[in-house]
Amino acid sequence: MLKNIRNFSIIAHIDHGKSTLADRMLEITGTIEKRKMQEQVLDSMELERERGITIKMTPVRMNYTLNAERYTLNLIDTPGHIDFSYEVSRSLKAVEGAILLVDATQGVQAQTLTTLQMAKEVGIVILPVISKIDSPLARVDEVRLELAKLLDCNESQVLSVSGKTGEGVEGLLKAVVERVPPPIEEYPSTDSFRGLVFDFQYSNHTGVIVYVRVFDGEVTKKDTLYLTAVKEKFTPIEVGIFTPDQVQVEKLSKGETGYIVTGIKRPGIASVGDTITIAKKPLPALPGYMTPKPVVWASIYPENQSIGGGKTGGDDWNLLRQALERLRLSDSSFTFEEESSGVLGRGFRCGFLGMLHLEIITERLRREFGLKLIITTPSIRYEVLDTRKKMSAIYSPALFPEYGFVEKVFEPWVSIRIITPPEYIGAILKSLYEHEAEVGETGNWSAHRTQLDATMPLRELMRCFFDELKSISSGFASLSYFILPGNREANVVRLDVLVADEIVPAFTRIVSERRVEEESKKAVEKLHDILPKQLFTIKIQAKAMGRIIASRAISALKKDVAGYLSGGDRSRKMKLWKQQKEGKKRLKSRGTVDIPQDVFVKMMQSD
């Protein structure tokens, strides 16, 4: 019955105990037997388990009995890191309620506010819950007051749980039944079907598997279905539910969450936010989702483009293309397109939601497809007005116009929110100044918690600001951000690195004009330390604003060509030394430097 269905998500800041709480819910409801339980049971990806974070949202159905009445609880566990906020926003449109989880040892964090705002915009019911109450560092009363103030509710409405011991979880399940409303029937008497696609995955055998929330009617594998956005008809191979494993069922009914195996193997057909309905009796499309826009760009090249690497052999470029297409089928938030470099060969320019997203995708390419990769320095999208009054979008530093051909440059800015103990405010303000931030309002959450708002260029946020913030605050500060609309004028320049008087495009970057000297010296010194010696002297230079900013030279390999001569006429040795000198001079004039792949990798890595 529809009145006995509850759809809800768990939303929180990273590492506040979402996955552990989900484990206890699965255990208490008997969804998974105790002997089969393991930590982070909903985090099926190897990287999720290693890092202790959720990367992909995971749906699961639980059965719960309260007062002799049986309820179906559809839970969607969501990521906590800010790079995956898009996953959270999608899950919230498939539910009627959300558990807002806050760590009793840390209190309200910056990302807590971001996820709360998403939930409020969707208009779902919010259940405030404090986690990790079993910790000796727990500040339950203080955090309860913070949550009550944040949600403008009574302190008695804030629940307390321990995902580790299970304390309070039974009461939370009861509260979900009592406070989260059942799904609403928009078309109560319809004999059609309508569902919203909130995620999908790809199978080699069965094609695209879409995750749907059913809003109206019911669907079986005998129905001919219709994807409204792409106007594509198909007959399902299977329909089912998540327990959390995929389990086939006869039908999916309104209010339920499940999956549909489409059998479609062509890319670009399934999309998040599309509406599935019955082909013969279509219902109006549901409001979908905003398409996520990449904010970080990096180029990916295979180390070997001719002889097979990877797990299956063959051309690594083709393997990389196939791997990117495969990941794109399960992660609609990143993009890629072909490009080529004279030094690195053929590769792909990829767009990501943030630095962690970039790291996760490249690590999956290495692990799941056995590829050895070169990743260029991440960049952002610039709008460049050149001297011909032509505006261009620049994603790659190597394509940025040279000095003297640029009229104006515009770049995206972000609004950031930092929550920190007050004793770190001084160091954080200094760091914000170094990253060209404009500091806004400050406020106090409590005697131990201060909120600081600011705006800064996205370019500077990417320049290791998050790591720096964690370092100077001893890990106690938290950060959330969102991209501001429009772009602002930027005072940036293109920095080229030359090896033997030739520009190496992979080392080119866009830097702030006020830091160009510092960045030039750093790049030259780093390359000087890692580039192997050659048979002739190598000159390394950093060039910006039409001039050489920094320069170093790597001395040539030395060999005593006259070492086999002993005694006798010294003129014979001098003749050999002169020939060696002239040979090195000729080699230098027409020789090129072969830069090993590991040098590219080391140059891309942050110090």
Whole-angstrom Cα Rg for the chain: 29
Q: Is position 20 annotated in a ligand binding site?
A: yes
Nearest Cα residue to 213 out of 61, 333, 93: 93
Q: Is 85 marked as a binding-site residue?
A: no
The CB-side HSE value for 30 (13 A sphere, CA atoms) comes to: 4
In this structure, are strands 5-12 and 69-77 parallel, antiparallel, or unpaired? parallel
**Residue 518: how many other CB atoms lie within 10 Å:** 13
Distance separating alpha carbons of residues 489 and 512, to the nearest angstrom: 12
Distance CA 263, CA 517 (A): 57
Q: How far apart are CA 225 and CA 193, in angstroms?
A: 9
- C-alpha torsion angle, residues 104, 108, 111, 115 (rounded to 10): 90
Distance of alpha carbon 342 from alpha carbon 241, whole angstroms: 50
Distance CA 197, CA 90 (A): 9
Distances (CA, A) of 81 to 356, 393, 487: 8, 28, 25
CB 105 within 8 A of CB 16: no
In this structure, what token pair is assigned to residue 372?
């050895």
- From CA 412, how far away is CA 393, in angstroms rounded? 12
Nearest to 226, CA basis, from 280, 277, 284, 191: 277
- Report yes or no: 138 and 102 within 8 Å, Cβ to Cβ: no
- How far, in Å, CA of 300 to CA of 363, rounded? 12
In sequence order, what are the beta bridge partners of 413? 457
Contact 552, 540 (CB under 8 A): yes
User: What is the residue type of 452?
Assistant: L
- Cβ neighbours, 10 Å, residue 556: 15
133 labelled binding-site residue: yes
Q: Is 19 annotated as a binding residue?
A: yes
Helices 425-434 and 465-472 pack at an angle, to 10 degrees, of 160
Beta strands at 296-302 and 232-234: parallel, antiparallel or unpaired? unpaired
17 in a known ligand binding site: yes
User: Does 199 belong to an annotated binding site?
Assistant: no
Amino acid at 267: P
Look at residues 491, 425, 484, 419 and name the one whose alpha carbon lies nearest to residue 456. Answer: 484
**From the annotation, which residues make up the binding site?**
15-20, 131-134
**From the annotation, which residues make up the binding site for GTP?**
15-20, 131-134
